[in-house]
Structure formats: structure tokens, C-alpha cells
């Protein structure tokens, strides 16, 4: 389940946001990807700063309407396949959108992506966490292990 927000835009007619405060309902990257595909969609590909801002506003509205503030990052459709160059300086260039789009837009948190065994990307949503070097952990991107539950 999730909140579906629709717009009249020809390219992105609807966004569906799934936000689970209940940890047992959160899923790994592949499960999230499959759930989107079963719904006829794809994990989010962010193509511009304007779309990033739109999603941030939608997330603020969604999480405000819930019962209390809760931490919980959101999977987006950016990921890296294979480990060939995972630890090299070329690693950031290996990330691709799951739906095949080619947008070069990125919104990494400071010192991300860290690469290594972290190949799937989340949008931070940790309003209760103390800020790090890049500021609050809100809406920037972080590579994470694909089996983590978000």
C-alpha cells in the first residue's frame, strides 16, 4: 500500500509513495522494484532538481500526515550492477536508473556514493538523526546494501 499522487504531466502521470513506519513492512531493493513493476510502474528515476524538489515536497506532506515523525529512507531506482570497478574512482559513473532512463542528475549526500558492497540507492529520510558533514539526512541520496529494508 502507499499514497498515490497524480499529476497531469505527460511523462509522469502518477507517483506512488509507500511509507511504512512499521519496520516489518519495509522491503529490500529488488522487492521494492518488483512491487512497482507489479503496479505497472518503476522505482523512481529523478531527472532534475525540479523533480527532486517535487518529491521532497510530497514526502514532507506524506510524513507530516502520519502519527509522529519517523526515520525511514526511501528506495529510488538508481543502482550499480556488478562489482568490477566498485572500489575505483569510476564507481559513481557505474550507477544507472532501473527503468533505463539516462538522466545524469544526482543528489548524493557528502562523501557518497561509498561503493563497495553498497550498490542500491536510497533517498535519506532521517529527521530525528543528528546532522552529519553534509547537514541533515533528508532527501539526499546514499548508496546502501540492496538487502536492507526501506
Within-domain flag for 149: no
pTM of the predicted structure, to 2 decimals: 0.87
**Beta carbons of 142 and 107 less than 8 angstroms apart:** no
d(CA 117, CA 100): 22
123 backbone dihedrals φ, ψ, rounded to 5°: -95, 125
Q: Write the pLDDT tens digit of every residue in 134-148.
A: 999 999 999 999 999
d(CA 65, CA 60): 9
d(CA 89, CA 31): 29
Within-domain flag for 150: no
Residue 114's contacts (CB-CB under 8 Å, 6 or more residues apart) are 143
Our count of domains for the chain comes to 1
Q: Which residues of 66-79 are buried (b: 16+ CB within 10 A; e: fewer)?
A: eeeebebbbbbbbb
* Residue-level pLDDT at 82: 64
* Mean pLDDT calculated for residue range 31-51: 91
d(CA 18, CA 3): 6
Sort strands 120-125 and 95-97 into parallel, antiparallel or unpaired.
unpaired
Residue 86 has pLDDT above 80, yes or no: no
**What residues make up the domain containing 19?**
2-144
**Residue 108: which CATH number?**
3.10.100.10
Within-domain flag for 121: yes
Within-domain flag for 32: yes
* Mean pLDDT calculated for residue range 86-106: 84
Give bridge partners of residue 92 from the DSSP assignment: none
d(CA 3, CA 83): 35
**For the chain, what is the mean pLDDT?**
84
* Residue-level pLDDT at 97: 94
If one compares 75 and 88, the residue with the highest pLDDT of the two is 75
* Mean pLDDT calculated for residue range 11-31: 82
Residue 84 has pLDDT above 60, yes or no: no
Q: Write the pLDDT tens digit of every residue in 116-129.
A: 889 999 999 998 89
Amino acid at each position: 500500500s502507499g499514497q498515490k499522487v497524480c499529476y497531469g504531466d505527460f511523462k509522469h502521470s502518477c507517483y506512488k509513495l509507500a511509507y511504512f513506519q512499521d519496520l516489518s513492512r519495509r522491503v529490500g531493493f529488488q522487492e521494492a522494484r518488483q512491487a512497482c513493476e507489479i503496479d505497472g510502474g518503476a522505482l523512481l528515476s529523478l531527472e532534475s532538481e525540479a523533480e527532486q524538489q517535487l518529491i521532497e515536497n510530497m514526502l514532507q506532506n506524506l510524513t507530516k500526515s502520519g502519527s509522529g515523525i519517523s526515520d525511514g529512507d526511501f528506495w529510488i531506482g538508481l543502482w550499480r550492477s556488478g562489482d568490477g570497478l566498485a572500489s575505483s574512482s569510476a564507481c559513481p559513473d557505474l550507477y544507472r536508473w532501473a527503468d533505463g532512463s539516462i538522466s545524469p542528475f544526482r543528489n548524493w549526500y557528502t562523501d557518497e556514493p561509498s561503493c563497495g558492497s553498497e550498490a542500491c540507492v536510497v533517498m535519506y529520510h532521517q529527521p530525528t538523526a543528528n546532522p552529519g558533514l553534509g547537514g541533515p539526512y533528508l532527501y539526499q541520496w546514499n548508496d546502501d546494501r540492496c538487502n536492507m529494508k526501506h
